[in-house]
Amino acid sequence: MERRTQQERRETTERALLTATADLVVESGLASVTLAEVGRRAGYSRGIVTHHFGSKQALVEALVTASQAGFVPGLGEIEPGLDRVLALVERYLGAVSGIGSLNRAFLVLWAESVASPDLGPVFRERDALFRADIVADLDAGRDAGQVRDDVDPAVVAAIVVAELRGLALQYLVAPDSMDPAAVGRALRDHWRVALAAP
């Protein structure tokens, strides 16, 4: 090991700890993750996590933050409207098969947050933002005459969020059971027909 600066040492260690935590979360859930196992998996000792993060809670918060980076890049460049919703659906599911540890952990944490007093509020807020984005696009699309007048943006947003997360989880736990990209294209076409103004 050549000479590294303190900052480099710290950063590589922290990355290793977060990805080790993410892997363990995906494998067996957050509750069963122990600090000792995280350290061991990352190639360090049992005490490393406490040293870096101080507490398990701090580790989890760092993981949640790090995992929040969405896995649909370049969506901000599309202007608001129907097309952006359709692109979201297609690209989200198109990207699912290639996501890394942190993004997989995000999906698992999202599922576990359902009954977790700690994680629950964080992920509920995030879902609310997710739905709000979709609602905004649908409203914009309706103003522009792209979207039918009789669709309820809030209802559609709730359904789309349920679909994307639900399908991603299904693929995560049983990759052989589906081709997410194909499902994504089908879903995109499906929504185009249902939403587009005649």
- Rounded Cα distance, 152 and 157, in Å: 9
Q: At what angle do helices 153-173 and 82-96 cross, to 10 degrees?
A: 10
- Rounded Cα distance, 87 and 95, in Å: 12
Q: Does 65 bind DNA (CB under 7 A)?
A: no
Q: Does 124 bind DNA (CB under 7 A)?
A: no
Least distance in angstroms from the C-beta of 14 to a second copy: 23
Q: Does 28 bind DNA (CB under 7 A)?
A: no
Q: Please name the helix (run of DSSP H) or strand (run of DSSP E) that holds residue 34, with its range, or none.
A: none
Q: Does 132 bind a second copy (CB under 8 A)?
A: no
The pair of three-digit structure tokens given for residue 177, joined into one six-digit string: 């059971």
Measure CA of the first residue to CA of the last residue in the chain; give whole Å. 65
List the one residue out of 187, 85, 68, 95 whose CA is nearest residue 146: 85
Residue corresponding to tokens 């081709």? 179
Residue of 15, 27, 28, 51 that binds DNA (CB under 7 A): 51
Residue of 27, 28, 46, 121 that binds DNA (CB under 7 A): 46
Residue ranges binding DNA (CB under 7 A): 1, 3-7, 9-10, 13, 33-36, 39, 44-48, 50-52, 54-57
Residues binding a second copy (CB under 8 A): 25-32, 107-108, 111-112, 114-117, 120, 124, 127-128, 152, 154-155, 158-159, 161-163, 165-167, 169-170, 172-174, 177-178, 182-183, 186-187, 190, 193-194
